[in-house]
């Protein structure tokens, strides 16, 4: 007894591996028994699957450029703590420190910038293109409050380091209630 094709298989005309390896029913009676249970009329031929259009990468890029706004890249970062501070590190090779905008609040840090190409290269001339060029940004919600006015940022060998001193914990103080 053959398994009935699923709705998706009937819709697309594609059989799963199990069904495609089985022989068709030998007599018309077994086919009639299977179709009696269905409320749909008997199918004599399955529709053939539609041919897929092959799209090349330049076509996809061109289509995306038409409807996608200018997108921003996202920085990769490391965030860790020491007893006194939160430290954020990010690799931002190829970016001038003047092209960076770092905004710090008590509980969030936002890093924005732009990495610009130093020469114009056509897409067809690339063998690999994995580096991100253009605007980037990254916002980080900090796990503890920091003193934004005491934060420091430095760059060495293409690595941005931001040091954010933690807000000193409020010490609990007990007081006695005076009686009159």
Instruction: Report pLDDT for 6.
Output: 75
Q: Which domain holds residue 104?
A: 73-165
Question: Is 65 part of a structural domain of the chain?
Answer: no
Question: Is 172 part of a structural domain of the chain?
Answer: no
User: CA–CA separation, 31 vs 116, rounded Å?
Assistant: 67
The reply to whether 160 and 119 lie within a common domain is yes
Question: Is 59 part of a structural domain of the chain?
Answer: no
pLDDT band at 20 (very low <50, low <70, confident <90, very high): very low
Question: Is 37 part of a structural domain of the chain?
Answer: yes
pLDDT at 3 over 80: no
- The number of domains in the chain is 2
The reply to whether 95 and 19 lie within a common domain is no
Beta carbons within 10 angstroms of residue 47's beta carbon: 11
What are the tokens at 114? 């732009």
The C-alpha angle 147, 148, 154, rounded to 5 degrees, equals: 115
Interval 109-165: pLDDT, tens: 999 998 888 888 888 888 888 777 888 889 999 999 898 899 999 999 989 999 999
Q: What mean pLDDT, rounded, does the chain reach? A: 75
The reply to whether 78 and 159 lie within a common domain is yes
Question: Is 5 part of a structural domain of the chain?
Answer: yes
Q: What are phi and psi of 102, to 5 degrees?
A: -115, 120
Question: Is 176 part of a structural domain of the chain?
Answer: no
Sequence-separated (6 or more) residues with CB below 8 Å from residue 162: 87, 88, 89, 102, 104, 109, 111, 151, 152, 153
Beta carbons within 10 angstroms of residue 79's beta carbon: 16
The reply to whether 38 and 91 lie within a common domain is no
Beta carbons within 10 angstroms of residue 131's beta carbon: 10
pLDDT at 78 over 70: yes
């Amino acid at each position: 007894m053959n398994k009935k094709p699923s709705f998706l298989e009937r819709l697309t005309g594609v059989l799963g591996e199990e069904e495609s390896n089985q022989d068709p029913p030998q007599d018309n009676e077994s086919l009639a028994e299977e179709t009696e249970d269905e409320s749909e009329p008997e199918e004599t031929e399955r529709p053939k699957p539609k041919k897929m259009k092959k799209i090349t990468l330049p076509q996809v890029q061109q289509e995306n450029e038409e409807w996608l706004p200018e997108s921003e890249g996202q920085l990769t970062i490391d965030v860790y703590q020491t007893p006194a501070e939160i430290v954020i590190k990010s690799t931002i090779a190829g970016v001038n420190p003047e092209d960076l905008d770092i905004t710090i609040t008590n509980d969030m840090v936002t890093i924005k910038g732009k990495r610009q190409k130093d020469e114009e290269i056509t897409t067809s001339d690339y063998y690999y293109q994995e580096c991100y060029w253009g605007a980037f940004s990254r916002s980080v919600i900090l796990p503890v409050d920091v003193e934004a006015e005491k934060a420091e940022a430095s760059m060495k060998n293409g690595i941005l380091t931001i040091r954010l001193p933690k807000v000193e914990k409020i010490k609990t103080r007990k007081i006695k209630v005076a009686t009159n």
